[in-house]
């Protein structure tokens, strides 16, 4: 499973530190170095790992800790807090409101599971009493509309798409308008997958976003440079990838 190995290595490093007879600078460094190695070998971004190590060292000042302090507990807590901080974007993720139309656009790399996750997302909300709908604005991959149609039909979710229209922006706008009129409160727009270097596809994604979600593209890095990212969904957790990239995301 994704992240299982990383979790195991971090737990092991903490366990070794906890088992040490005396907690000194060397024990702390060994523990942090082992966690650093585990994170880096799982593809977590170097800068994130470096900052994490620096922060823990700044919090756990062994020289200043008076006798009687539970150093093991303090180190453990500092590691836990810093790992959590790594995953905290510092702002709440986008949360749609039931009964009010929300448009959620799925973007991601090719084959990352957008279409599958769109349906799961719609199905999840449908079970909770929402009125979701799916729009297929992927005109790039042959069979994309059929795939969405099949998933949506199985989950009994209304869908919109076209076999003939080649402009994804047009489809997205029409789909969103259609479902707004039908009082759907969660309109999910599936887009075509893309790679970082495909400038034209990113431009298309920006246009779909501006025409439907209507937000500015003001944030950092690849996808974030093109559209505002309201939330990140990690897919394929049942796979064997190392998972560190997901933490960096
Ligand atoms: N094991 C596993 N496979 C998944 C998961 N989610 C999606 N898949 C599979 O991954 C493949 C690609 O999924 P899609 O949902 O078509 O991905 P996509 O991002 O829409 O693909 P593009 O539109 O081509 O970019 C399909 O074979 C899915 O069945 C998952 O959570 N676990």
Any atom of ligand 1 within 6 Å of the Cβ of 112: yes
pLDDT of 219 reads 37
pLDDT per position as a tens digit, 25-72: 899 999 999 999 888 887 777 888 888 999 999 888 877 776 667 889
Any atom of ligand 1 within 6 Å of the Cβ of 144: yes
**Entry pTM:** 0.74
| Residue of 55, 33, 36, 54 whose CA lies nearest to 45 | 36
Any atom of ligand 1 within 6 Å of the Cβ of 125: no
- Does 193 or 105 have the greater pLDDT score? 105
Residue ranges, comma separated, of all CATH 1.20.120.140 domains in the chain are 4-87
Confidence of residue 222 (pLDDT cuts 50, 70, 90): low
pLDDT at 208 over 50: yes
Mean pLDDT of all residues belonging to the chain: 83
Q: How far is the CA of 21 from the centre of ligand 1 (A)?
A: 49
pLDDT of 194 reads 64
Q: What is the mean pLDDT of residues 68-94?
A: 86
For a substitution probing ligand 1, which of 113, 193, 201, 233 has the most ligand atoms within 8 Å of its CB? 113
pLDDT of 101 reads 92
The CATH number of 102-231 is 3.40.50.300
| Residue of 101, 122, 113 whose CA lies nearest to 214 | 101
Q: How far is the CA of 118 from the centre of ligand 1 (A)?
A: 10
Q: How far is the CA of 52 from the centre of ligand 1 (A)?
A: 32
| Helix, strand, coil percent values for the chain (each to nearest 5) | 50, 5, 40
pLDDT at 216 over 80: no
Residue ranges, comma separated, of all CATH 3.40.50.300 domains in the chain are 102-231
Farthest CA pair distance, the chain: 75
Asked if residue 45 lies in contact with residue 87, where contact means CB atoms within 8 angstroms, the answer is: no
pLDDT of 220 reads 37
Confidence of residue 149 (pLDDT cuts 50, 70, 90): very high
Domain 4-87 has what CATH class?
mainly alpha
pLDDT of 111 reads 81
pLDDT at 12 over 90: yes
Asked if residue 211 lies in contact with residue 168, where contact means CB atoms within 8 angstroms, the answer is: no
Asked if residue 83 lies in contact with residue 32, where contact means CB atoms within 8 angstroms, the answer is: no
Q: What is the mean pLDDT of residues 90-106?
A: 89
Any atom of ligand 1 within 6 Å of the Cβ of 45: no
Query: How far is Cα 246 from Cα 2, in angstroms, rounded to an integer?
Result: 10
Q: What is the mean pLDDT of residues 75-98?
A: 88
pLDDT of 249 reads 65
The tokens of 78 are what?
């500092």
Any atom of ligand 1 within 6 Å of the Cβ of 96: no
Asked if residue 112 lies in contact with residue 237, where contact means CB atoms within 8 angstroms, the answer is: no
Any atom of ligand 1 within 6 Å of the Cβ of 115: yes
């Amino acid at each position: 499973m994704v992240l299982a190995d990383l979790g195991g290595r971090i737990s092991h490093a903490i366990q070794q530190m906890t088992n040490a007879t005396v907690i000194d600078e060397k024990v702390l460094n060994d523990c942090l170095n082992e966690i650093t190695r585990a994170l880096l070998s799982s593809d977590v971004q170097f800068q994130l790992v470096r900052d994490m190590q620096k922060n823990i060292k700044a919090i756990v000042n062994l020289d200043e800790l008076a006798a009687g302090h539970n150093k093991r507990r303090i180190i453990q807590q500092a590691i836990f807090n810093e790992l959590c901080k790594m995953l905290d974007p510092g702002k709440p993720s986008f949360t749609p409101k039931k009964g009010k139309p929300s448009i959620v656009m799925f973007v991601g790399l090719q084959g990352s599971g957008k279409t599958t996750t769109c349906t799961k997302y719609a199905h999840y909300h449908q079970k909770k009493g929402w009125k979701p709908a799916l729009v297929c604005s992927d005109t790039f991959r042959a069979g994309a509309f059929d795939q969405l149609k099949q998933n949506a039909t199985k989950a009994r979710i209304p869908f919109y798409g076209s076999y003939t229209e080649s402009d994804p922006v047009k489809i997205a706008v029409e789909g969103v308008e259609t479902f707004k009129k039908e009082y759907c409160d969660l309109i999910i727009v599936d887009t075509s997958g893309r790679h970082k270097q495909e400038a034209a596809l990113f431009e298309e994604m920006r246009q779909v976003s501006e025409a439907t979600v209507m937000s500015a593209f003001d944030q950092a890095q690849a996808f974030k440079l093109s559209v505002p990212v309201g939330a990140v969904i990690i897919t394929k957790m049942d796979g064997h990838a190392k998972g560190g990239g997901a933490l960096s995301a």
